[in-house]
Amino acid sequence: MSWLPTLRQLEYVVAVAASGGFGSASRVVAVSQPALSKQIKEVEQGLGVVLFERTPRGATPTLAGLRIIERARRVLAETHELADEAAMLRDPFAGVLRLGAIPTLAPWVLPGLVSAMRAQLPRLELRLLEEQTDVLGERLLRGELDLAVIALPYPQEHVRVLGLYEEPFYVVAPRGHALGEGPPPLPAQVAAARPLLLRRGHCLRGHVLTACRMDDDPSTSLEATSLATLLLMVEQGLGPTVVPEMALPTDRSQLVVRAFAAPVPTRGIGLWWRPSSPRAPLFEQIGALVRATRPLVAR
């Protein structure tokens, strides 16, 4: 019989690949760096291939390593689903649920959703993660996450997408700005005003660029790392911005909020999960809770 790695060793291999080095991976998997290095070397010797090129700057997967790492991720994802299915057979609405959400949704969606889930799904043990969409997608496909609350549209292969509702965008401008007066602004007028944007990596940036029919040129706009920072920049008179309805500011003493001219641009709110997950009925119920706890915002 051929030598077989353990699931723990596969987790170590995937951790090194994701972290880019043995030191950072050892902190992720909570073992010492020498112990981790020893386990990776054992996997390489057992399989007869070198998985990583070791350099002073870290560890880079070899061509053979890339193929083994991808298969290891699939094995781990399948193992998580095996455990999920066993838990579902015992009780479909119990056990650990690893739930992710993007930063432009989490502060507004998660408080009401978590409260509702604790009331209606009390046997679930929630573990929450706030990350950008790409990271959530990667962790979902690796089996490290069960469900993600995301904004649509967003290109992602190999996931089940459940759309929940559409959320309109609004223009937020400093008092006295041209966009704060006259008829509802058109996307072209907002684009001409060079709105402030979130930095690259946030899906909201792409949604706003699409809504205003703008090219993604980072040199044309100031950027922020969060919606809160973006609105503070507007308050300081640095320019207008575009935000989703749930993020509209409550203090508008220095701001003007304007609805777009029809047709009003929107983003979708939805869920992602792996199509092979046996917990789809639970996820659909959670989707209903996301709809029911939709944040109410004064327009």
State the Cα–Cα distance between residues 108 and 204, nearest whole angstrom. 15
Residue 174 phi, psi dihedral angles, 5° rounding: -65, 150
State the Cα–Cα distance between residues 244 and 171, nearest whole angstrom. 9
**Alpha carbon 116 to chain centroid, angstroms:** 21
Give pTM, 2 decimals: 0.76
Could you confirm whether domain 94-299 is CATH 3.40.190.290?
yes
pLDDT in tens, 158-167: 999 999 999 9
**CA Rg, the chain, in Å?**
23
Q: What is the CATH topology of the domain spanning 7-74?
A: Arc Repressor Mutant, subunit A (1.10.10)
**Alpha carbon 30 to chain centroid, angstroms:** 24
Query: DSSP code of 196?
Result: B
pLDDT in tens, 213-272: 998 876 656 789 999 999 999 999 999 999 999 999 988 989 999 999 999 999 999 999
Which of helix, strand or coil describes residue 230? helix
pLDDT in tens, 71-114: 999 999 889 888 877 877 788 788 889 999 999 999 999 999 99
Write down the mean pLDDT value for the chain: 92
| pLDDT band per the 50, 70, 90 thresholds, residue 1 | low
With a CB cutoff of 8 Å and minimum separation 6, the contacts of 167 are: 244, 245, 246, 266, 267, 268, 269
Pairing of strands 160-174, 124-130: unpaired
State the Cα–Cα distance between residues 31 and 24, nearest whole angstrom. 11
DSSP bridge partners of 128 = 99
Give the residue extent of every domain in the chain.
7-74, 94-299
> CA dihedral in degrees (285, 286, 287, 288; nearest 10)?
60
Q: For residue 81, which amino acid is it? A: E
